[in-house]
Structure 1
């Protein structure tokens, strides 16, 4: 059973960062720590030589590159090796991917650096100093996670610097061996050349000597010299995902493995009143029945449950279904969707709020102007990744072994150590490909459950698999949200004032408590991101939020708060255009005079979309998230009450596009993901129970419903920004705005349903 523990230095630091914004005491004024040399040895072949914490080279010229971010379909196993291979001057085909040790140099600094609600247009010292401090906190804590569309953004410089430094060592070794100046040594495609003498040597032949050298300083390449970055490259994982040899978490098969299937409390906050193990212990293959309820005790949304362990998963799942369990409904047995939204409405009727952004003088500017008001709502959403939640764990001899698909290796290692009561250094993690993440694999609940079960299995590895029903009914959901907008128009139809007041749960608070054990509080920018930080040049603004506690477990969902807030904002912009009698695109363009990149993206999408065919309409949405700007034009028709999306034109400015192929793939994926939610995604609760159970009542877009997606990548020399999530938020409002043109119905609730 889990007991109270003293708060660690790691938790103290992270708590301070979350609540206060930065920890700038003592070491806070020192330079940032290096991100090139790891303390742990790289997990590479014995004959390979590590030149820093990111790259090792074998005598046969094979290059092993550490990729510390999870591959869940977004292409980091292609994009990140491109960065290092570019500066190392090796062919991408020669690169092999090595797993990342548990080391602080692989921490994700970008996620924490951008975790506070600064406006994108803020350029003051406070923002720069705070983000610098937060990056130092992240480096100190060493939290490695994949999320926030940050993988390439965070490692854009470290991986290039690692490649350049390694190349500098190799040049220094060749210079010494050939007794020539380093400037006379040329590198290309994994070889070193001294052109005047005709000498050449492979990287592999010089790697051991290079490891002993002081590197010759090699400057990072300028964009005009790139031969990989910025050019379309095929996905490195395409073949294995096509021929079935790719290995996901659910494919783990350690020797002697058994299986666990679950029964979890049907109500949120429910508990076990009684179990009759005898009802299933005589069934074929059944080994044991284990109550794992204590594994997540005290955490928001923690589900009590029992596992049946058997020799095959079929045997385990059949026995779990037959197991006689009595449930206690718990304190939230009366919880309902209607009650949730009633609570949000009551919160908005009150006075409590946090103001995230305010400028101008709303009262004076609004005098005598026309007032427009609207209320929007968005439901709870499940992740519904194709690979069901699973974790394979073994607890033996004071050690824990995990085989897992995860977005947060450092977090799950800490959770496994806590549940098994071992030191984190005694947890061995084998990471696998993810069959979809979308934020769900940032969580550690499956790890806590699997380790708690494995503790009772006499050293056997146990693979715990959730059914699809478990997955839908016991997710950590995107928060339900309610938003009220008010704006004023002058006589010329110009938006003078803009106010938004929203209410929802604060998923950041729950995530910190659930996965980090922190008493988190304060502002949670995910609640209003995309509204408080919008680019439209409206002179008088006020954006506030009311955080409402909820027993419903909340988590990060692909594009997080942007996913609902873009729908609210871009729909209301369209309402303002209609009220002003203006074209929605023209209204947007007039408010982007000081944001040329946003304007260029909008213009690119609208130009490519052209004129809709008869019977169809175009809806437009523009949104910035995770540093990238996306405009979408949805071509829509309506037949009866069916909304059909035929085509989506998507323009993006994501800074320098490292691999244009991956950018286009992510925009296509985002449109399909966002449309699934816009047209059918909704989790409802009645009598404390989630009502949806599977894809039959929680539908995702089918192939025949998928639109044509055309992607335009606006050229940029700015550093790379996020790509995996920014394509999701504009889809819903673009479709809703097109539906309004066709039907005159303003759809202010998700999912989109015609009356």
Structure 2
């Protein structure tokens, strides 16, 4: 993998610090309660080891010089802990070798995601964006207090002092005081109302390509704790037998064979199925295999995915809800010198995180304690409380590392959390720790998929080859409908269904984007890059077809339509430049394709190079990626997220599909639901645009362009278009 940063303007880069911090013996906590970007500060206090200063603390400095940053976002591999720590440590002028991170408790009043309003949670590639100003101020105010403490101690003006690598320094006298030595005095000072943030030109950690991840050592030596690792004395393990068809319910069950399995201690029915509870995972697995359940499928979804898609195609011929209208698209297309049309089909997709869903619950009559790689603390806290018959404040959540998610751990119904609490409740809420563990098969069968979609597009070209009209019909399920977030649906349009299409950046004078929202019994959820996971493909594959029909180079055609979008145009040009883009044909059997997309306020362009053998097998050889995500807090993590997004999106485009037969999921594990293998990962080059803008998302945007870039490369190699995903099962068309 290759990474570089395109400097504009250039900034100095200094040293690289590494290591881990130690526990605090005495601490200074700076806490904030935020109702918006400005926020309100509480007074700092100092307490002894093992206690907290205020429950809304973002920062704790120990007398041993350790710096503990409290992270309100879950670390699920995307680098959130490192990014959060970097923001704080930069403004604090901390010694990176002394920085460590711990998870915040579930408390939306203090730890809300500012992009979500009053909800604590991680998602939508918002972790860095919503934390940026908040955490910079947290670090800067702490630095100001430490400098003030040193100034009072040395009887000099604070303006005479500076902070550097965990210490306050007096250049005039050469005196130096570590942060730890200043804790008692600094803890007595009030938090300043305002503070001057650092000039980005002076950053030493933010933008530094050599800042090591704070979680790297623990994840390398096995000490990092994921939910799957959690164990307690006397802990029970539960596996849940769920219905084979969505919407079916338990009619009756026979637990005699399951209870006869050594180690099985109980079998209980809960709202979502029948749970086998045992002293170990293997006993629970054997017990569940022996369990006999009769299901009531009266209200179950019984259609096949092919039948559902056929219904979608019929709906595409009917008027939909307008998501965006400009000019008169129908008139422009009907009167065009040349017309172009295409349809695209997208299957259901599973999230398939490496660590299947799991949660540990300790439930009593008055409290509920949860351990999980929790992505949606406020929602999960509320749903757990409702299930247990408690108040939300009686539910505490210990957020652990999560082994991936891609959106799956953040769902409005808190399915895996509710299941775990339901089982603990059915066992008597006696305080016995219970771990609910999903298997890979449970994950593949468990629903909450990326919705299936059908797209129909039409375009008109003038005699001069200019794009004059664009009509786009999207047919698929709403993610938000029927959830607490349904209020976000405006005029019948779920924005997650149309993002990446309704906000198309190309300058098209006559444009129409419509949505047909469908109803099925298949439960759906946001999936990495959400609507742009299918809309960006449809837009970028079709714009390529339109460029070809116009007889123009697909890169040039796009660039001309983006003259009013400088940041998107810039990444398009950068990717093309770094890839050595040329409209000249590549050698036989090889092709090059390009695509660009905006998602979560980040701009990503990719050029893919492929080889297609005589049997039609596709090998993606190289992907060149250009990304503008505003300020790149940790460039190495930005690159890693682009690389990971490319691998994730490529696996879905090449192989990913959840299919139904008589309402039952046909795939079981990674043998049927294939993800990208290591030998199929292409060479990836990431080029980051250096920017003075506030940081935007990187966890998801890299997924959006890779599918269409590869599809367009396949066309360049073969002259055939792919209109249905995944590529492996698609019928290509000339």
TM-score (norm 2): 0.89
Larger deviation, residues 419-428 vs 52-61 = 52-61
Partner secondary structure for residue 155 of structure 1 = helix
Residue equivalent to 2:713: 738
User: 2-side partners of 1:686 and 1:548: how far apart?
Assistant: 19
Residue equivalent to 2:652: 677
Deviation at 1:430, TM superposition (A): 1.2
Deviation at 1:615, TM superposition (A): 3.2
Residue equivalent to 2:444: 472
User: 2-side partners of 1:598 and 1:33: how far apart?
Assistant: 27
Residue equivalent to 1:491: 463
| 1:244 pairs with 2:222 | yes
User: 2-side partners of 1:44 and 1:36: how far apart?
Assistant: 25
Q: State whether residues 187 and 193 of structure 1, in contact with CA within 8 Å, keep that contact through their aligned partners in structure 2.
A: yes
Deviation at 1:331, TM superposition (A): 2.0
Residue equivalent to 2:293: 325
Partner secondary structure for residue 426 of structure 2 = coil
Residue equivalent to 1:604: 574
Residue equivalent to 1:196: 172
C-alpha change, 1:38 and 1:310, in structure 2 (3 Å) is farther
Partner secondary structure for residue 703 of structure 2 = coil
Residue equivalent to 1:362: 329
Where does 1:30-429 land on structure 2 (aligned, <5 Å)? 32=36, 35=39, 37=41, 45-46=49-50, 53-101=57-105, 102-110=107-115, 112=116, 138=117, 142-215=118-191, 217-232=194-209, 233-293=211-271, 304-351=272-319, 353-363=320-330, 365-366=332-333, 367-429=335-397
Q: Once the two structures are superposed, what CA deviation does each residue of 1:177-236 show, in whole Å capped at 9, x if it has no partner?
A: 222222112111111122223333221222232232234553111111111111112222
User: 1-side partners of 2:198 and 2:236: how far apart?
Assistant: 51
Q: State whether residues 281 and 287 of structure 1, in contact with CA within 8 Å, keep that contact through their aligned partners in structure 2.
A: yes
Q: State whether residues 571 and 736 of structure 1, in contact with CA within 8 Å, keep that contact through their aligned partners in structure 2.
A: yes
User: 1-side partners of 2:350 and 2:40: how far apart?
Assistant: 38
Where does 1:538-577 land on structure 2 (aligned, <5 Å)? 538-577=508-547
The answer to which structure has the higher helix fraction is: 1
C-alpha change, 1:45 and 1:148, in structure 2 (3 Å) is farther
Structure 1's unaligned 5+ residue stretches are 1-29, 113-137, 294-303
Q: State whether residues 512 and 520 of structure 1, in contact with CA within 8 Å, keep that contact through their aligned partners in structure 2.
A: no
C-alpha change, 1:307 and 1:700, in structure 2 (3 Å) is same
User: 2-side partners of 1:363 and 1:283: how far apart?
Assistant: 66
CA RMSD of aligned residues (A): 2.3
User: 2-side partners of 1:343 and 1:589: how far apart?
Assistant: 37
| 1:620 pairs with 2:594 | yes
User: 2-side partners of 1:389 and 1:173: how far apart?
Assistant: 47
Deviation at 1:683, TM superposition (A): 0.6
Alignment length, in residue pairs? 684
Residue equivalent to 2:11: none
Q: State whether residues 160 and 220 of structure 1, in contact with CA within 8 Å, keep that contact through their aligned partners in structure 2.
A: yes
C-alpha change, 1:306 and 1:47, in structure 2 (3 Å) is closer
Match of 1:724 among 699, 704, 714: 699
Q: State whether residues 476 and 553 of structure 1, in contact with CA within 8 Å, keep that contact through their aligned partners in structure 2.
A: yes
Partner secondary structure for residue 322 of structure 2 = strand
User: 2-side partners of 1:695 and 1:623: how far apart?
Assistant: 29
Match of 1:501 among 473, 482, 490: 473
Q: State whether residues 501 and 539 of structure 2, in contact with CA within 8 Å, keep that contact through their aligned partners in structure 1.
A: yes
Larger deviation, residues 534-543 vs 213-222 = 213-222
Larger deviation, residues 563-572 vs 424-433 = 424-433
Partner secondary structure for residue 514 of structure 2 = strand
C-alpha change, 1:737 and 1:40, in structure 2 (3 Å) is farther
Deviation at 1:103, TM superposition (A): 3.9
Q: State whether residues 108 and 119 of structure 2, in contact with CA within 8 Å, keep that contact through their aligned partners in structure 1.
A: no
User: 2-side partners of 1:159 and 1:439: how far apart?
Assistant: 24
Deviation at 1:50, TM superposition (A): 6.6
C-alpha change, 1:609 and 1:34, in structure 2 (3 Å) is closer
Q: State whether residues 510 and 553 of structure 1, in contact with CA within 8 Å, keep that contact through their aligned partners in structure 2.
A: no
C-alpha change, 1:717 and 1:549, in structure 2 (3 Å) is same
Q: State whether residues 258 and 289 of structure 2, in contact with CA within 8 Å, keep that contact through their aligned partners in structure 1.
A: no
Q: State whether residues 370 and 397 of structure 2, in contact with CA within 8 Å, keep that contact through their aligned partners in structure 1.
A: yes
User: 2-side partners of 1:40 and 1:343: how far apart?
Assistant: 61
Structure 2's unaligned 5+ residue stretches are 1-33
Q: State whether residues 301 and 521 of structure 2, in contact with CA within 8 Å, keep that contact through their aligned partners in structure 1.
A: no
Q: State whether residues 393 and 461 of structure 1, in contact with CA within 8 Å, keep that contact through their aligned partners in structure 2.
A: yes
Larger deviation, residues 317-326 vs 200-209 = 200-209
User: 2-side partners of 1:522 and 1:446: how far apart?
Assistant: 29
Q: State whether residues 371 and 398 of structure 2, in contact with CA within 8 Å, keep that contact through their aligned partners in structure 1.
A: yes
Deviation at 1:518, TM superposition (A): 11
Residue equivalent to 2:433: 461
Deviation at 1:48, TM superposition (A): 7.5
